[in-house]
Amino acid sequence: MKRLLPVLTVLAVILTLAIIPAAAEVHAGEVESYMLDNGLKVVLQHNDYLDTVTVGIAFKTGRECEVDPQDHGLHFWTTFFMTAGTNRRPYFSGISRPIEEVGGTFNYSLKGSTTLFYAKVTTPNLYLAVDTIGDVARNPSFDKSYMEYLINYYCGDYMTSRTKYVETSPYIRLREGCFGNHPYGYDHIGTTEALRRRNWAYFRKHYQKYFIPNNAVLLVTGNFESKTAKKYIAECFGSWKAAPEPPKPPSVEAAKGEVNLVVPGTGNRSYVYLGYRVPGIAHEDGPALAVLNAIWGQGLGSHLFQELRSQQGLAYECSSSYKWLDFAEPSMLYAYVATAPQKVTAVQETLRAQAERFRNELVSDNELASGKAKFIINVYRAMEDTIEQVIHMGFFEAIGMGYDGFEQIAQKVRNVTAADVQKVAQKYFVEPVMITQNPK
């Protein structure tokens, strides 16, 4: 029986990979895509088995435009002030409360290359969602006196405590080590000094340059009537004027060289991060990196869990992550381990040895099949929620792959070989960024 287990596992994984596309087609339903005269792309994805609908607008802009150090945090604060009130809905509560009163959710999601505002409601409240998203996108008030009040408020204790957190956060230091002077390497809210130097007009100018219809895609997914949705969209977005195409940010290379840094922490645990600079998911190496990450640290059968926790007892918790959704290009891939302070050295040595093993040895057929299935299933499972659907669809639109970009990635992942996994390990596992946090 024990000899049959690996065979049965591989067969189960193969069957899973084979049925995923069919299951996705059933759940995704019909998709319509069209363009308004102002350049706003509209994507309607029908999921009639739901009783809810999510409306989101994704702007093809993010922290990538913050190349000048004085602009760090510009995008975060612009987005924050857009939700601080519109001409029709004063303050954030005026935007969110009507949605919440009908059992819905309003929020926004910031990625390195994408900015998304979304509202999820029950189907009868579709117009409320479309109108709210349209109002936030088109008519943020940028009230001078209120913005100056908010800037002074957040430049106080909030930014002080944030600065202390940034200085000691091992994850943020890992990001700094991986990205260096690239905008991804800095804290997304910037610094107190940078925020104080700005006024309300500075943020409004940034909004007018990047938050325009011809730099966005409107996404509606869930249970709704197509004719009704198109009517509401035309009413709320049809008169929005196009603007000149925003400038593309200059390219900034990520950092180079090894990093080995120790930062102070609290409590009785130590945390070890081992990261590498890698390209994003749209790069030709992205699918193989996704599979490598799944094999390394995703789930109970991963290298990290099996060796560090099950066999050696070195980890309280452990995992790996490929941050392709947060950082489009460049990106990073890292392993994370929480351990006892006296076991830090052993953890560091084991992590380095595992990375070297990926470079020198081919993964097994079983590991390869399992890694492919984990990556594809995890993303599809996340996208069962309509909010995650619009987040992912908006991301792939922003990087130029189209709303169905993940279908393209999934197919490429299915074609990844063991040699591909070894190749990307040899190519990118070369300049490790090791960040360790030990209790004081």
Residue 30 lies in a domain: yes
Please tell me the predicted confidence (pLDDT) of residue 4. 41
> Quick one: tokens of 147?
């913005």
Among 29-33, 124-128, 255-259, the range of highest mean pLDDT? 124-128
Rounded Cα distance between 384 and 372, Å, is 19
Residue 221 lies in a domain: yes
**What would the DSSP string read from start to end of 319-383?**
EEEE-TTT--SSEEEEEEEEE-GGGHHHHHHHHHHHHHHHHHSPPPHHHHHHHHHHHHHHHHHHT
Are 419 and 290 within one domain? yes
Q: How many other CB atoms are found less than 10 A from the CB of residue 266? A: 9
Residue 331's domain spans which residues?
256-439
**Domain boundary pick from 237, 266, 300:** 237
Find all residues with CB under 8 Å of 130, minimum gap 6, and list them: 55, 220, 229, 232, 233, 236
Given a cut of 60, whether residue 319 has pLDDT beyond it is: yes
* Total domains in the fold of the chain: 2
Residue 37 lies in a domain: yes
Cβ atoms of 121 and 220 within 8 Å: the answer is: no
Confidence of residue 238 (pLDDT cuts 50, 70, 90): very high
DSSP code of residue 42: E
Are 171 and 274 within one domain? no
**What would the DSSP string read from start to end of 52-111?**
EEEEEEEES--GGG--SGGGTTHHHHHHHHHTTBBSSSBHHHHHHHHHHHTT-EEEEEE-
At 202, which CATH number? 3.30.830.10
Q: How many other CB atoms are found less than 10 A from the CB of residue 92? A: 13
> For the segment 47-101, what is each residue's pLDDT rounded down to a tens digit?
888 899 999 999 998 888 777 877 888 888 899 889 999 989 988 899 999 999 9
Are 215 and 282 within one domain? no
Residue 242 lies in a domain: no
Are 292 and 214 within one domain? no
Are 200 and 265 within one domain? no
